[in-house]
Amino acid sequence: MMRAKTAVDIHELFAQRRSPRSLDETANMSQDDVIALLEAARWAPSANNLQPWRFVVGQRGDGEFAKILSVLVPFNQAWAFRASLLVAVGGESLREDGNANATFMFDCGLSVAQLTLEAHHRGFVAHQMAGFDAEKATELFAGQMPIVIIAIGKQAPADQLEGPAYERENAARERKDLSEIVLRGLPL
């Protein structure tokens, strides 16, 4: 993997992390690896310790995998079927008292970030997708709002992809410059 060009050295998990679409459909994940990803997600910071994240997990070949795959848009289905694991992430938008939890999306994002980094730490890659049918995805959950679906597996050569997926796989890894995202407080 190509290392990100950073302003200063950062941890290799961040510098090497990518979200590839080209996955090895012969690679499997052990139960220990799956549980470790979920444990990393479980221990994410959470406002008022509400832990609003909920996961539906499917391993390639099982019924949950097929259900999660079926809610993806065709572009994502065309490559995500090779993933070792699909994780649908939903969130509890209300607190137990019925009031809105204004930070539930933020908390769920932190949980996904920790799951993603644990996957990379264990030699897997993770690709988060917003490209899914939200109405169909609600059927995966028991009242939670669907937020994202993550494809996890071992990276494979990009040449198994075609068209826009192949082009995106080979595109340069870029981010906005710090001067564009730090509005005040740091001389850049």
Whether the CB-CB separation of 37 and 152 falls below 8 Å is answered with yes
Mind listing the pLDDT tens digit for each residue in 70-81?
A: 999 999 999 999
Instruction: Give the Cβ contact number of residue 173 at 10 Å.
Output: 14
Residue 15 pLDDT level (bands cut at 50, 70, 90) = confident
Mind listing the pLDDT tens digit for each residue in 16-26?
A: 888 989 999 99
Q: What is the pLDDT of residue 37?
A: 98
- Between CA 26 and CA 135 the distance in angstroms is 31
Greater pLDDT, 149 or 16 = 149
- Taken in order of first residue, the domains within the chain and their CATH numbers are 18-156 (3.40.109.10)
pLDDT at 174 over 70: yes
pLDDT at 62 over 60: yes
- Between CA 7 and CA 64 the distance in angstroms is 42
What angle, rounded to 10 degrees, do the helices at 31-42 and 104-121 form?
Answer: 140
Helix or strand (DSSP H, E) at 111 = helix 104-121
- Between CA 64 and CA 57 the distance in angstroms is 7
